[in-house]
């Protein structure tokens, strides 16, 4: 009996050690590679960061939609605090202003790159994938450095967001390490040489900084996007009804022209003389800040997607 108990104790200890090893950021970096490693040297960037280019990435990424301090007019005050409800609990969006103590003002560019590509904080904690690093990992390192340079020019906002409110087992942050090994592939965007430059620009903006797939797709039981349902719409995680299909199918944007999509991304107006609202209204306020060539590129890419049947909400 004593040997059996001892054996179970040893297995338990080994299990705990294995869990700690597999769920550490170092394990992910070792198994998936370290995309940000070359930032450790000056050779990591092909050019100096450009804050004006970072401004385009900022609005392409819609950073203000989640991180702007709620209930104030200046959307460039990124004090966080928005309560993002989900099936896994409520996430409180953090302060990402350049405040030294409460925001990211004490970060270096490597810290920022690792947060965006690996979902890892400077002190070695996993970020929950409510922060869409599964899309941001596609971004080029130069663009991320540009984005960081622009964000450092914004107002420093005092105050930290409340802690997340998550039930067990989702409150065990360490477990996100296993989620990453399963669903964070570590692959940057790769251009398609058979496509036009504008198509590739649109594909990059949609799949990287724009993270359109994060809302417009169905997810599995673990909260990861189902590959064959990408862009076909899905349930709104905050319970506000279905998110639209944005593939060119009859249940999506089939019949729309490039001009229709450019208008939507500029003014929020649809071909049916309606105006988008809710979270998409916030998205449009950001895409309206992009160069028109970028809005055209996004439209070109979306209209090239394979048509898919849209999400159908289950009957109650």
Model pLDDT for residues 53-94, shown as the tens digit of each residue = 999 999 999 999 999 998 888 889 999 988 988 889 999 999
Which pLDDT belongs to residue 17? 39
Which pLDDT belongs to residue 167? 93
Q: Looking at residues 11-31, what average pLDDT do you find?
A: 51
- What is the token pair recorded at 156? 């420093």
Vertex 77: Cα angle to 74 and 81 (nearest 5): 110
Vertex 138: Cα angle to 53 and 128 (nearest 5): 105
Q: What confidence category does residue 316 fall into, taking pLDDT thresholds of 50, 70 and 90?
A: low
Which pLDDT belongs to residue 33? 63
Q: What is the DSSP string of 95-124?
A: P-SS-TTTSSTT--HHHHHHHHHH-B-TTS
The pTM assigned to this predicted structure is 0.87
Parse the chain into domains and list their residue ranges: 20-39+47-183, 197-304
Q: Exposure of 120 by Cβ count < 10 A (0-12 exposed, 13-18 middle, 19+ buried)? A: buried
Give the model confidence (pLDDT) of 128-175 as tens digits. 999 999 999 999 999 999 999 999 999 999 999 999 999 998 999 989
């Amino acid at each position: 009996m004593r040997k059996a108990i001892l054996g179970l104790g040893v297995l338990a200890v080994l299990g705990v050690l294995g869990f700690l090893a597999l769920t550490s950021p170092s394990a992910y970096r070792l198994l998936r590679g370290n995309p940000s490693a070359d930032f450790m040297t000056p050779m990591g960037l092909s050019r100096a960061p450009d804050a004006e280019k970072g401004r385009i990435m900022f609005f392409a990424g819609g950073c203000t939609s989640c991180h702007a301090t709620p209930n104030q007019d200046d959307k460039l005050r990124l004090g966080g605090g928005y309560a993002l409800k989900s099936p896994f609990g409520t996430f409180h969006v953090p302060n990402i202003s350049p405040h030294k103590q409460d925001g990211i003002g004490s970060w270096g560019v490597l810290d920022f790159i690792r947060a965006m590509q690996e979902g890892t904080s400077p002190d070695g904690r996993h970020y929950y994938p409510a922060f869409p690093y599964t899309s941001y990992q596609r971004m080029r390192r130069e663009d991320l450095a540009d984005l960081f340079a622009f964000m450092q020019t914004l107002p420093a906002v005092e105050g930290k967001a409340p802690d997340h409110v998550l039930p067990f087992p989702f409150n065990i942050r360490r477990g996100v390490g296993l989620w990453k090994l399963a669903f964070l592939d570590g692959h940057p965007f790769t251009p398609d040489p058979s496509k036009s430059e504008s198509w590739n620009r649109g594909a990059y903006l949609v799949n990287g900084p724009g993270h359109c797939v994060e809302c417009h797709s169905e997810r599995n039981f673990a909260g990861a996007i189902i590959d064959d349902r990408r862009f076909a719409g899905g349930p709104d995680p905050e319970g506000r009804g279905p998110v639209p299909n944005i593939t060119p199918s009859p249940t999506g944007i089939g019949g729309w022209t490039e001009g229709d999509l450019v208008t939507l991304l500029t003014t929020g107006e649809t071909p049916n003389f309606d105006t988008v609202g809710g979270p998409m209204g916030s998205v449009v306020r950001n895409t309206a800040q992009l160069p028109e060539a970028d809005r055209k590129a996004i439209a070109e890419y979306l209209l090239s997607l394979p048509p898919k049947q849209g999400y159908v909400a289950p009957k109650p």
